[in-house]
Structure 1
Amino acid sequence: MICHLSDFHFSRSFKPRRINRIIRSIMNVSPDLIVFTGDLIDNYEKWPSKETQRLIEKLKKMTAPMGKIAILGNHDYRSKGDNFVKAILTESDFTVLENEEIFGSNDDVSINIAGMDDTLMGNPQFQFERTLAQWHLLLVHEPDSVLNMEDVQHFDLVLAGHGHGGQVRFPFIFYKIRGSLTYTHGLYLLAKKTLLSISNGVGMSMLPLRFGVPPEVIYYHLNKQPTATKAKK
């Protein structure tokens, strides 16, 4: 089981203690793998440094036997905060992927995970190698990143965040942001066997509120994929 987290946007108004219930919930579910698709903090320039160690302690409490994988989002780069965010994630036992791939397996499945650097503020790579793993996952922050990929059909599952599901949603009004104009929220079938899943995220940006769009943690169950066998004569 994979636990998908995104868009914490920790700040002076959204402090690490706000995720205590999320941590307890995740540990009760006991996922095999935890992935985070960017925007750990809202703005490095305004980050309250006294909260740094507390944030690391909270993130460390989330554990998974196959590890924790993360990528950076556009807000992680604000005010040149990317190195700071990478240091926090690394100290919190996350493996940070920047246009890199990592392989993992347990008794049930083998999985290859590719992590793309942020497309708005980083230096993204849009092509990754296909491997012999049973499952291929791609982590992106902005869901519209897939529009620049020629081989997106090589992935079984693409996980993204960024748009917050609109964050504030009224009937007939949906607020969109750059990087999430085509793919905004929910699920999309990008190819015959390629599913894009976009998280509403946990925190808030620009406005310190959510309306009609609850925060979410998403779980995915991966089964063994059947391998081709020769027919007996």
Structure 2
Amino acid sequence: MYILYGIMITIALLLLYMVFIEPRRLKKKHYFIRKNKMQVLDISNAYDLYEENTNMIIAHISDTHFSRLYKPYRLNRVIRSIMQTSPDLIIFTGDLIDNYKKWPSSDTKRLIEKLKKMSAPMGKIAILGNHDYSGDGQYFVSEVLKESGFTLLKNEEIFGSNEHISINIAGVDDCIKGSPKFDFEATLAQWHLLLIHEPDSVQQVENLQNYDLILAGHSHGGQIRLPFVRYKHPGATTYKRGLYLFANKTLLSINNGLGMSVVPMRLGVPPEIIYYHLAKDEKIASKD
């Protein structure tokens, strides 16, 4: 009997952790990225030491899945992190809301207010995800993003620069519910980024070598990771979480997202924000 009670208590505590604790454990990752992607460094515990060798900092968030259960105030920790790190550019890779048909319209104003508080000198770039199309919500999401100061890319590209670096960013429409196109030409920018929602769609990109960094979301890193159970999201069955390198040139980075879908739980995959510190030229970066 005591064993049964112990099992029941353990399950109850685990469920409490999955619902109330892990979804609030925002993890902040920092990667130092050189043009030679064989030398990607995780500098999460000492990113301030790389400030002199960094040309640009990009903040990457994804998959907020705002809903009746996941409210706009959940962005507060993300906003504080961005204010502390002061990135040059903010990128969002889709799934702003979970389902437009179930969206509480009373939260729209607050959502826009929170999104506006995230700011960066080179702007904010976004693409749509498959859930943004749920309930025919792509028009609503597009307007919310634009009103919040984001530049929405749907099979479009944008060029930007600061005093140190030039960058070209191409954004693809969602590959499950949208109409994606991948035929972007290489430019003379120093760095080339590609934004996709589903990481497996990287397999449809013909000229991978044209991109230095491909940013994706969608998978939630599995959202609930049990020892022998791994849920695979359609669109993220080959590339699920973390970093993937193609031909020593192109780095795919998958963000585990901030929100949740299907069930309001996380286990083994806390929400995250990723910062990419783009290195100065190789001669300077190699001194680290």
Give TM class, smaller chain.
over 0.9
Following superposition, the deviation at residue 71 of structure 1 comes to: 0.1
Asked if structure 2 preserves the Cα contact closer than 8 Å seen for 1:109 and 1:223, the reply is: no
Equivalent residue for 2:37?
none
Asked if structure 2 preserves the Cα contact closer than 8 Å seen for 1:109 and 1:222, the reply is: no
Counterpart check, 1:162 vs 2:229: no
Q: 125, 130, 143: which one pairs with 2:199?
A: 143
Indicate the SS of the match to 2:164.
Answer: coil
Equivalent residue for 2:130?
74
- Which has more helix, going by share of residues? 2
Distance 2:220 2:232 in 1: 9
Equivalent residue for 1:217?
273
Matches within 5 A, 1:10-25: 10-25=66-81
Map Cα deviations across residues 96-154 of structure 1 (whole Å, 9 max, x no partner). Answer: 00000000000111000000000000000022110000000000000011111111111
Q: 33, 42, 51: which one pairs with 2:107?
A: 51
| Contiguous gaps of at least 5 residues in structure 2 | 1-56, 284-288
Counterpart check, 1:60 vs 2:94: no
Counterpart check, 1:89 vs 2:179: no
Distance 1:115 1:101 in 2: 6
Equivalent residue for 1:193?
249
Asked if structure 2 preserves the Cα contact closer than 8 Å seen for 1:134 and 1:224, the reply is: no
Following superposition, the deviation at residue 172 of structure 1 comes to: 2.7
Matches within 5 A, 1:99-114: 99-114=155-170
Question: Greater Rg, structure 1 or structure 2?
Answer: 2
Indicate the SS of the match to 2:115.
Answer: helix
TM-score by length of 2: 0.77
Distance 1:135 1:191 in 2: 16
Following superposition, the deviation at residue 18 of structure 1 comes to: 1.3
Aligned residues: 227
Say what the alpha-carbon RMSD is for the aligned residues.
Answer: 1.1
Asked if structure 2 preserves the Cα contact closer than 8 Å seen for 1:108 and 1:223, the reply is: no
TM-score by length of 1: 0.96
Cα distance change on mapping 1:44 and 1:161 into 2, 3 Å:
same
Relative contact order: is structure 1 or structure 2 higher (C-alpha 8 Å, sep ≥ 6)? Answer: 2
Distance 2:230 2:213 in 1: 25
Following superposition, the deviation at residue 226 of structure 1 comes to: 5.8
Map Cα deviations across residues 153-198 of structure 1 (whole Å, 9 max, x no partner). Answer: 1100000000000000011321111100110000001222100000
Distance 1:215 1:106 in 2: 30
